Amino acid sequence: MISKGDVLELVVSGYDFEGQGISYADDRKVIIPGAMKGEKVSAKVVVKNSRFFKANLEQIVNQSSDRVKPSCVHYELCGGCQLQHIDYGNQLAIKKEHALENLKSLADEINERQPGKIHTLDIGGGLPSESISPDSKMNAYGSMVAEVFADSSYQLLTEFGQWVHAEAGLAISKIEYVLEKSRVFIHLGADFFMRDAYGVTRSFPMYVWNEHGQEVKGVMQPFDIAGPLCFAGDYLAHSAQLPQATAEGHWLSISATGANTYGLWSRHCSRSVPKYLCWDGEKLRIWSERQTINY
């Protein structure tokens, strides 16, 4: 029987909605402020009721590698904010997990009142593009989703457009002008990269090729990359590193452009949609021809 004042040695299994560490003892939840998932801790029971215990962290026996020093010197005494002892990436993961748990809980509650009412859940997207690897964000997120919905039969829908498509796209434009050896003008700008020109610019891998299809290499220098539209803000990038030998008539290839580009094409300034080519693993196919405009 656990009593108030007892010191327990516990392994933290998760977090509550405020980011406080959670463990279990005597078939009850133990809330441990400041403890992190995976840590083994000693904690003193300060609150006991029929539903849960609350325990103050006395000692971290095995510390999580994700623990960081809080940015605010008053964090441990103030209580005005949570999660500063957890690195930012894991803070986001905790919040995502809570969002999924709350969505499932809401659907479960609705189905208790109206059986079978909810059978499909759209859990959205939001992950950035990345290379496929065992430690990818998608693998971590997939494991989280599988754990949250392990005991349910909901059909899950996702919206990972950028994660799925970005790495599959490649844009190629001729370099029309090189001005002052620090600014280049190409044929793609706010028409193709609408989000990047009008909002936050993504960082795209870029390569320069000569008229013979050979990559231009050598000493790199910063270039501003301007698009073809008629306003001063039509820039794909500022201070992008390109070879000093970059010249008019060369070609600029821009990788990872498969998301939020062609599908958002802007016809501002009467810009016509370019040809779209597809590589199927064996040969190049024309997906769609360049749009023509007849006045």
Residue ranges covered by each domain of the chain: 7-65, 88-164, 169-288
Tokens of 61: 């026996």
Report the CATH superfamily, name and number, of domain 7-65: Nucleic acid-binding proteins (2.40.50.140)
What's the topology of domain 169-288?
Lyase, Ornithine Decarboxylase; Chain A, domain 1 (2.40.37)
Q: Tens-digit pLDDT profile for the chain (295 aa)?
A: 899 999 999 999 988 888 899 999 999 999 999 999 999 999 999 999 989 999 999 999 999 988 998 888 888 777 777 888 888 888 888 889 889 999 999 999 999 999 999 999 999 988 888 777 777 888 889 999 999 999 999 999 999 988 899 989 999 999 999 988 799 999 999 999 998 988 888 899 999 999 999 999 999 999 999 999 988 889 999 999 999 999 999 999 999 999 999 989 998 888 889 999 999 889 999 999 988 877 5
Q: What is the maximum alpha-carbon separation in the chain? A: 86
Of residues 256, 236, 230, the one with CA closest to residue 192: 236
Q: Can you count the helices (H) and strands (E) in the chain?
A: 5, 16
Work out the angle at residue 247's Cα, subtended by the Cα atoms of residues 242 and 248, and round it to the nearest 5 degrees: 130
